[in-house]
Structure formats: C-alpha cells, structure tokens
Structure 1
Amino acid sequence: MPEIDPTEFVQVEGDQQSLQFQDPKQQGNFELGVCMAIYKWDELTTAVDNSWGGPCSADKRDWISGVVIDLFEEKIVDVALIEETLLYAMVDEFDTEIDNDSALEIGDLIMKIYKDCAIQSYDRVDQLYARYQEKEANGASKLQVKVGSDPNNPDSSEDESDEEDEVPQLQEDDMAVDEPEVQGPIVDDDGFELVQKKGRRR
C-alpha cells in the first residue's frame, strides 16, 4: 500500500463559502462516495454486524457518513481530520478503539473521492457502488449476528418475526393476536382463569 499523507488537504477556491459542490451531480456523487467508503470500512462493519453500538448500530453508521459529509461545509479539510472524526465516532458510538491505520485509509479514500468529483470523474464512486451492490446481492453486508440482548426493543424486524412465530403456539384456530385475551376464562395461556394440562407458563 502506498504511503498516505495525513496532511493532504483540499480548500475552497475564490469566494466559495464551503467545500460543498454547487453542482448537484457532483455533490450527489460525493455524498454517495462517502457512504460507500464508510461501508467499505471493515472495522465499522464488524461493529455494526455485532451491534456494538446497540440496536441502532446500522443507523449510527449512516450518521457517521453524514458527519463526514458535513466536514466539507468548512473551507479546508485534510485527511487527518477525517481520520480523527472516524476514530472519535467509533469510540463515542461503538465503545471501540481502532489501533490500526484503517481509519486513515478510509480518510485518504474520501479525499480521493472528493478530488475525483471536483474534476467530475465518477469512476471510483461507480466502482465502490457496484461492489456494494454485489455484496448486498450476495447477502454479505446483511446483519449476520442475531441480537438477543435487547428483548424490550420491538423495533427490529428480527424481534417482530420471533413474536409472529409464537402466535400459533398460543392459539390454534385464531389468527388475531388480541382476541384470546378478550375471551376471558376460555383462554388458558395466562393461567389466571383456568389451569389445563396443556397450558404453558411464560
């Protein structure tokens, strides 16, 4: 790997107020490129897949992408600033310290993406996006680890599917989840009105 210069930077030209592109196509490709670079960061992917940032780990990854994009609202940005932003985000959001140069590599990649977009060259962004889509198609970027440490959060689709799996065990002929509780003593799953041999205690 070629040596990375952490002091490499970009700055505004003329009377521009920020490094954001005025051309929507340039800005759109840059923002996509930043997201793809963040998704390419293996250390962050590991943290998200294992929910080190809690049940909203995937949302935190997208938030980090937004934070990096916002850095370019300033008049000057260097590779070291991007690296520091990524490292602090990992500590704050995932309680994880990165002791290698991976954040520096992602910072360098984002700097290259910005410079590409500045000359309206989008090949690098297209390649990153194509690789991301390929991983999505193969399921490689999906969450592989089941989250079992947060049973009180019904927001995740996996928790919802678990609840759906339990419904047939509670009532054989009724598809509605709420109705068994309304029918009173006939229902035995609560164990308050009737105790039957086939009743389950939760």
Structure 2
Amino acid sequence: MASNSNQTRDMVLFARGVIALLDSWDVLRLAISEGWGGPESSAKRTWLASIIVDEFETASSSPDLDYIADLILQAMSDEFDVDVDDGSAERIAESIVKLWAAEPAIATQMVAEFQATAQKRSKVQIQASRGEGNGDSDWESESEDEDGVPRLVENGAQPTTPREKPEPVIDEDGFTLVQGKGKGKH
C-alpha cells in the first residue's frame, strides 16, 4: 500500500483503518467501557493502534498475520488483563494485513467500510454479563463451588437432600448408646 510518492497519505489512511477496526472490535470496546485498562483505557486503544501502524511503517518487510495477532493479544493481556480466545483478534489482524497489502483505491474503500462499521457499533451499548456463557472461566463455573472444587452433581440432576441423622438411642440408665455407621453389618 505504501508507495514512495504517496507514503504519508497512505500511512494516514492505513492508520485511520486500524483505528476504525479497533473501534469496531467488541472485545476492546467492552474492555474500555468496563475500565479494565484503568482510567486511561480509551488512550490505550490509540496506543495499540499506533504500535500496530509503527510495526508496518518501520518493518523492512510487512509483518505477517500471526505477528500482528500476537501483538494484539499481548497488548490485550498486558494492558487490559483480558485473554482473548474467541478468534476475534486473529480476524482483526487479518483485516489489518489485508488493508496494508491493498492498492490505494481498494484501501480507501476498505477504510470507509471499517469506519461505517465502527460508527454503527459505537451506537450500540456493550455490556459484560456474568450469566451463562459458552466459554470456560478461571473465576466462575456452574460446576464449581466457592472453593473452586467441582460439585459432584451431573447436569440436570437435582442434588439429593442430606439424610437425617438417626435419633440417639438411650438405654434405661440414661446413657447414650454408641451406634455403628452400618459398615460391615450383615
């Protein structure tokens, strides 16, 4: 995408595209809206866009998809304490790499589409919920108790009520007789 004569204009277009992609990424939007990156969460989005653009601008050869995806995943982990495992970071990285490789006319069209998507998504409020999810979590699971130990109840089965303790047997002198647990009785 970056030719010698139009390099500055192309880099600005590329940067706008990267920012629009990050603005439309639900995972990052949620991390920012929930403040997972601290009080400067929004500034971290701009910082992430700048390090991505810098990687392309300063590299002797174009960074590949895996490198950009790893860069995004690492930044999300370090800056927002979020481990992204839904494949969305890879899709963002793929779009960034395709944008970089695109001809200027196609890149302009791609950026316009990215910006339109970002604008639509900015109007939709995104919220985190701790309800039933489809992924595993280190901090919450329906099959674990407070100590993180799995419950021994199958899905859909009702837990059995605990058996009542038998009444103590008292002999005629008023002493309580010790009863066996029933093991080994024939």
Would you call these one fold, judging by a TM-score over 0.5?
yes
Distance 2:127 2:92 in 1: 23
| Residue 75 (1) aligns with residue 60 (2) | yes
What whole-Å deviation, never above 9, does each CA across 1:103-143 have from its counterpart, x for those lacking one? 11100000111122x4432111111112323444x3x36x9
Q: Of Structure 1 and Structure 2, which has the larger fraction of its residues in helix?
A: 1
Give the residue type in structure 2 aligned to 1:91.
Answer: S
Q: 3-state SS of the aligned residue for 1:120? A: helix
Q: Does the alignment pair 1:107 with 2:118?
A: no
Distance 2:43 2:127 in 1: 16
Structure 1: 5+ residue stretches without partners: 1-18, 146-202
| Deviation beyond 6 Å, 4+ runs, structure 1 | none
**Rg larger in structure:** 2
- Paired with 1:55 and 1:144, the residues of 2 have a C-alpha distance of 17
Give the equivalent residue in structure 1 for 2:9.
25
Q: What's the counterpart of residue 116 of structure 2?
A: 130
Q: Write out per-residue CA displacement over residues 132-181 of structure 1, whole angstroms, 9 at most, x where no aligned residue.
A: 23444x3x36x979xxxxxxxxxxxxxxxxxxxxxxxxxxxxxxxxxxxx
Structure-to-structure mapping, 1:28-177, within 5 angstroms = 28-72=12-56, 73-76=58-61, 77-116=63-102, 118-121=103-106, 122-136=108-122, 138=123, 140=124
Could you say what the CA RMSD is over the residues aligned between the two structures, in angstroms?
2.2
After TM superposition, the structure 1 stretch with the greater mean CA deviation from structure 2, 124-133 or 58-67, is 124-133
Gaps of 5+ in 2: 129-186
Q: What secondary structure, in the 3-state scheme, does the structure 1 residue paired with 2:110 have?
A: helix
Query: 1:89 & 1:48 partners in 2: Cα distance?
Result: 13
Kept in 2, the 8 Å contact 1:21–1:27? The answer is no
Q: Identity of aligned pairs, percent?
A: 29
RCO greater where, 1 or 2, for CA within 8 Å and sep 6 or more? 2
CA distance in 2, matches of 1:75, 1:110: 17
Alpha-carbon distance in structure 1 between the residues aligned to 2:98 and 2:70: 17
How far apart in 2 are the matches of 1:27 and 1:131? Answer: 21
Question: How many residue pairs get matched?
Answer: 123
Partner of 2:139: none
